[in-house]
Structure 1
Amino acid sequence: MSRQHVDHREIAAFAQDRVNLPSDKAKEYRAQAKRLRDKLEGYLRDHPDFSLKKMLLSGSLAKGTALRTLNDIDVACYVSGADAPEDTQALLDYLAEKLRKAFPNFSPDQVQPQTYCVTVSFRGTGLDVDVVPILYDGDPNWYGNLVSQEDGSFLRTSIPRHLEFASVRKKRHDKDYAQVVRLAKFWARRMKSEQDGFRFKSFMIEMIMSKLSDDGVDFSDYPDALQAFFTYIANSDMRERIVFSDYYAPSSVPSTSDPIQIIDPVNQENNVARLYDSGQADAIVEAALDAGDAIDSALRAPTKQETVAYWQKVFGPQFQV
Structure 2
Amino acid sequence: MGTPPVTHDDIVRFADERVNLKRDDAKELREQANRLREKLENYLEEHPDFDLRKMLLSGSLAKGTALKSISDIDVGCYVSSESAPEKISDLVDWLAKKLRTAFPNFKPEQVKPKEYSVAVNFISTGNEVDIVPILYDGDPKWRGYLVSQDTGEKLMTSVPMHLEFIRKRKNANDKHFAQLVRLMKFWCKLQKAADDGFRFKSFMVELIVAHLADRGTPLGDYPRALAAIFAFLASDEFRTTIAFNDYYDPKTCKVTNDPMRIWDPVNCENNVAKLYTASNKDKIVQAALDAGDAVDSARRAITKGEAVRFWQKVFGSSFSA
Whole-angstrom distance in 2 between the partners of 1:64 and 1:83: 33
- 1:140 Cα deviation (Å)? 1.2
Report if the CA contact (8 A) 1:198-1:280 is conserved: yes
- 1:279 Cα deviation (Å)? 1.0
- 1:305 Cα deviation (Å)? 1.4
- 1:235 Cα deviation (Å)? 1.8
- The answer for the alignment partner of 1:95 in structure 2 is 95
- 1:205-228 superposed Cα distances (whole Å, 9 cap, x missing partner): 100000011101111111111111
Answering whether residue 272 of structure 2 is matched by residue 272 of structure 1, we say yes
Q: Which residues in structure 2 correspond to 1:170-319 (within 5 Å)?
A: 170-319=170-319
Whole-angstrom distance in 2 between the partners of 1:152 and 1:64: 29
Whole-angstrom distance in 1 between the partners of 2:28 and 2:132: 21
TM-score, normalization: structure 1? 0.98
- 1:82 Cα deviation (Å)? 2.6
- 1:142 Cα deviation (Å)? 0.8
- The answer for the alignment partner of 2:148 in structure 1 is 148
- 1:234 Cα deviation (Å)? 1.3
- The answer for the alignment partner of 1:114 in structure 2 is 114
Letter aligned with residue 6 of structure 2 = V
Whole-angstrom distance in 2 between the partners of 1:86 and 1:23: 38
- Paired residue secondary structure (1:269): strand
Whole-angstrom distance in 2 between the partners of 1:163 and 1:186: 21
Report if the CA contact (8 A) 2:180-2:222 is conserved: yes
Whole-angstrom distance in 2 between the partners of 1:185 and 1:165: 18
Whole-angstrom distance in 2 between the partners of 1:45 and 1:318: 50
- 1:88-137 superposed Cα distances (whole Å, 9 cap, x missing partner): 11111111111000000111111011000000001001000000000001
Q: Kindly, what percent of the aligned residue pairs are identical?
A: 58
Whole-angstrom distance in 2 between the partners of 1:149 and 1:41: 27
Letter aligned with residue 119 of structure 2 = T
Whole-angstrom distance in 1 between the partners of 2:3 and 2:259: 37
Whole-angstrom distance in 2 between the partners of 1:151 and 1:5: 48
- 1:5 Cα deviation (Å)? 2.1
Whole-angstrom distance in 2 between the partners of 1:155 and 1:184: 26
Whole-angstrom distance in 1 between the partners of 2:129 and 2:35: 11
Distance 1:21 1:149, change over 3 A: farther
- 1:153 Cα deviation (Å)? 3.2
Unaligned runs of 5+ in 2: none
Unaligned runs of 5+ in 1: none
- The answer for the alignment partner of 1:166 in structure 2 is 166
Distance 1:50 1:151, change over 3 A: same
Q: Which residues in structure 2 correspond to 1:10-29 (within 5 Å)?
A: 10-29=10-29
Whole-angstrom distance in 2 between the partners of 1:202 and 1:3: 32
Answering whether residue 49 of structure 2 is matched by residue 49 of structure 1, we say yes
- 1:81 Cα deviation (Å)? 5.0
Whole-angstrom distance in 2 between the partners of 1:152 and 1:222: 39
- Paired residue secondary structure (1:313): helix
Report if the CA contact (8 A) 1:192-1:199 is conserved: yes
Letter aligned with residue 301 of structure 1 = A
- The answer for the alignment partner of 2:72 in structure 1 is 72
Letter aligned with residue 72 of structure 1 = D
Report if the CA contact (8 A) 2:4-2:301 is conserved: no
Whole-angstrom distance in 2 between the partners of 1:315 and 1:154: 37
After TM superposition, the structure 1 stretch with the greater mean CA deviation from structure 2, 144-153 or 41-50, is: 144-153
Q: Please, what is the CA RMSD of the aligned residues? A: 1.0
- 1:33-90 superposed Cα distances (whole Å, 9 cap, x missing partner): 0111011101111111011000000000000000000010000000015321111111
TM-score, normalization: structure 2? 0.98
- Paired residue secondary structure (2:62): helix
- 1:219-274 superposed Cα distances (whole Å, 9 cap, x missing partner): 11111111111111112112210010100011110111100000000000000000
Letter aligned with residue 252 of structure 1 = T
Whole-angstrom distance in 2 between the partners of 1:78 and 1:37: 11
* Count of matched residue positions in the alignment of Structure 1 and Structure 2: 321
Whole-angstrom distance in 1 between the partners of 2:179 and 2:212: 14
Letter aligned with residue 257 of structure 2 = S
